[in-house]
Amino acid sequence: MVHPFTVRARRSRPVPSAGDPSRPSRCSPKGPSVSDWNFADVWETITSLQPDHPAMVRGGVRRSWAEFDDRSGRLAGVLLDAGLGHQAAVACYLHNSLEYLETLFACFKGSLIPVNTNYRYVADELRYLWVDADVRAVVFHGTFVERIEELRADLPAITCWLWVDDGTGPCPAWALPYEHALDRGPEQAGSRRRAARSGDDLFMLYTGGTTGHPKGVMWRQDDLFAVLNRTAQVRFPEEGTVADIAAVLPAPTEPRGRVLPAAPLMHGTAAFAAFGMLGAGGTVVLCEGTRFDVVELLDTVERERVTDLTIVGDAFARPMLEALDREPGRWDVSSVAVILSSGVMWSAPIKEGLIRHMPGVLCVDTLGSSEAVGLARSVSSSTRMASTAGFRLGPDAQVIREDGTPVEPGSGEVGLVAIGGRGPIGYHGDPEKTARTFRVIGDRRWITPGDNATVDADGTIHLLGRGSSCINTGGEKVFPEEVEEALKLDNRVLDAVVVGVPHERFGEMVVAVVETAPVDAVDPEELLDALRSRLAAYKVPRQLFLTSSLGRGPNGKIDQRRWRAEAAEMVARGAGVS
């Protein structure tokens, strides 16, 4: 069988060191940083200061910090007893759940690397991801058993499978029930690796790649903690230690924040929101459903008195506004102080509508990525409304030319949004992509995720979009080349082009134009059905059109601008198949 994802050989994972040229410099005018932040150390210290405070809530299940710490420690023991070595990778193949957060904490305790796994992936995509990350253990919800069984024989390096009961069926014979494992897990076994922990321990965040292959963004925990700490509710000295936590953390009797990450924890936006709240000693609140349900979301906000809500642009915000407009007064959302969005467009009219229902709320729209956290942000409130694509740059960010010099504000020149300072080491096992995104220009290292922008005279930047053809649909990245290649696996398809067309709710929708000969000999529905077996659902085009020729030029290239415009026109006419 030929897989759309070619599985590469296993690679050794780099171990960052002070002399590693790939490691970003952390020098400052005062000298090198001596911080060594590790999430497990921070969360264990917070537990010791407020053991009875709620750490996590999902539906009717509430877990205190002491329970969070104990269960995660037992899970760490199970993983270590399974033979996982220092910085071995553990896949989190889970919907939003308390077990997801416990798995993260367990990995940090055991000096293991958690690997986010997109639960929408089909077998070929999962196989590629887990081989690429050198995964040795998988924690998974029961609903994914059938998909795992398609590829488990191809993954002999994975020796530990932990099944989380979600009511979809029994635990398979080849897996260990999560709760049984915790029952037998030694108390605080995660402390076995305490001496080995350091800020050099990695957090791996897989994101889409320019060829469609996921790529693993490698963050040192010390760098990630420091970057998130700069905008946290409770801020610790960047060059401090866990000993500073007691002095900064509010007293147990003082109110704490409660964040609800509405987006999946498998994506950086939600995971980083949870990390930020846990670092402040607050509570992470999760919805019970596995699909976005605006009624459940608003019910949970009201019941749990959520203070911080994390969403992904209009894909979440528009249904929220529609529900609030449809049934005014049904939900008490007065507890919400901040709505934060990242990953997709959040339009100004939608922000205005939400603020109308929540006059005291701040709508914080952030520009960033898995590689570049804190590029820019815009803040809208009842007294000030930011434009849809207007942002203020973060402290280490600039809009630069290719030579690294800054774009002149007010010039109208288009530049590349870049950020310096602390950041990831690079992409796991991919020095070429690392060199393209993590650029050393002169004596400075810049992270350039690919966003183009202009700079107004007052410093406001206006985002123009990605230089690449990446389609952002509802916060999910879809790379046209991957979908095009999957379409071409059908021998009736001579050529294909995939583009993004503006969509009111999702920002963009995936649209395919397929060249066949003759046109009327192919059923478009059959092409879409075939794609659904090869690709995650969000990658399958929402509209598909047939043509007799895509008109490639002499250089072999397709006129993307032409087909994007024609696709938008055909969508408006309703001429395609969906």
**Residue 279 lies inside a defined structural domain of this protein:** no
Q: What's residue 296's pLDDT? A: 98
Is residue 193 pLDDT above 80, yes or no?
A: no
CATH classification of the domain holding 353: 3.40.50.12780
CATH classification of the domain holding 536: 3.30.300.30
**Residue 93 lies inside a defined structural domain of this protein:** yes
Among positive and negative, which fits the CA dihedral 258, 262, 267, 269? negative
Q: In what order do the strands lie in the sheet with 543-547?
A: 493-503, 507-516, 543-547
Question: What tokens were used for 254?
Answer: 């003082």
Q: Residues 481, 460: one domain?
A: no
Residue owning tokens 């092409």: 527
For residues 363-379, give the mean pLDDT: 91
Question: What tokens were used for 462?
Answer: 């206006």
More confident residue, 184 or 119: 119
**Residue 399 lies inside a defined structural domain of this protein:** yes
- Tell me which H or E stretch contains 301: helix 294-304
What is the pTM assigned to this prediction? 0.82
Q: Residues 127, 187: one domain?
A: yes
List pLDDT tens digits, range 69-104. 999 999 999 999 999 999 999 999 999 999 999 999
More confident residue, 153 or 489: 153
Q: What's residue 280's pLDDT? A: 93
Inter-axis angle of helices 98-109 and 39-49, to 10 degrees?
110
**Which distant-in-sequence residues (6+ apart) come within 8 Å of 415 by Cβ?**
399, 400, 401, 406, 407, 452, 453, 454, 455
Amino acid at 349: P
Cβ–Cβ under 8 Å, residues 324 and 357: yes
Instruction: Give the Cα separation of 117 and 122 in Å (integer).
Output: 11
More confident residue, 513 or 20: 513
Instruction: Give the Cα separation of 573 and 18 in Å (integer).
Output: 59
Q: What's residue 464's pLDDT? A: 67
**Residue 84 lies inside a defined structural domain of this protein:** yes
Q: What's residue 175's pLDDT? A: 98
Q: What's residue 542's pLDDT? A: 94
For residues 172-177, give the mean pLDDT: 98
Average pLDDT, the chain: 87
Q: Residues 529, 459: one domain?
A: no
Last residue of a domain, one of 433, 465, 497: 465
- Domain holding 303, by residue range, is 292-465
Q: Residues 312, 435: one domain?
A: yes
Q: Residues 173, 306: one domain?
A: no
Residue owning tokens 């949870």: 274
Q: Residues 357, 492: one domain?
A: no
Q: Residues 496, 397: one domain?
A: no
**Residue 283 lies inside a defined structural domain of this protein:** no
Partners of 325 in the β-ladder: none
Q: What's residue 561's pLDDT? A: 81
Q: Residues 45, 185: one domain?
A: yes
Residue 329: how many other CB atoms lie within 10 Å:
7
The percentage of the chain sitting over the pLDDT mark of 90, rounded to a whole number, equals 63
Q: Residues 155, 43: one domain?
A: yes
**Residue 22 lies inside a defined structural domain of this protein:** no
Q: What share of the chain is helix, strand, coil (3-state, %, to 5)?
A: 30, 25, 45
Is residue 419 pLDDT above 70, yes or no?
A: yes
Instruction: Give the Cα separation of 155 and 159 in Å (integer).
Output: 9
Instruction: Give the Cα separation of 399 and 466 in Å (integer).
Output: 14
Residue 424: how many other CB atoms lie within 10 Å:
29
Q: Residues 434, 532: one domain?
A: no
For residues 506-529, give the mean pLDDT: 88
Last residue of a domain, one of 465, 487, 502: 465
More confident residue, 556 or 361: 361
Q: Residues 435, 484: one domain?
A: no
**Residue 256 lies inside a defined structural domain of this protein:** no
Q: Residues 411, 511: one domain?
A: no
**Mean pLDDT highest for which of 122-136, 308-322, 436-450, 546-560?**
122-136
For residues 317-339, give the mean pLDDT: 96
Last residue of a domain, one of 440, 465, 490: 465
User: How many domains does the chain fold into?
Assistant: 3
Cβ–Cβ under 8 Å, residues 477 and 483: no
The percentage of the chain sitting over the pLDDT mark of 70, rounded to a whole number, equals 88
Angle formed at CA 191 by CA 187 and CA 193, multiple of 5 degrees? 135
Phi, psi angles (nearest 5°) of residue 347: -75, 150
Q: What's residue 353's pLDDT? A: 96
**Residue 25 lies inside a defined structural domain of this protein:** no
List pLDDT tens digits, range 92-101. 999 999 999 9
For residues 50-54, give the mean pLDDT: 96
**Mean pLDDT highest for which of 184-188, 225-229, 307-311, 484-488?**
307-311
pLDDT band at 467 (very low <50, low <70, confident <90, very high): low
pLDDT band at 14 (very low <50, low <70, confident <90, very high): low
CATH classification of the domain holding 97: 3.40.50.980
Look at residues 374, 371, 372, 370 and name the one whose alpha carbon lies nearest to residue 340: 374
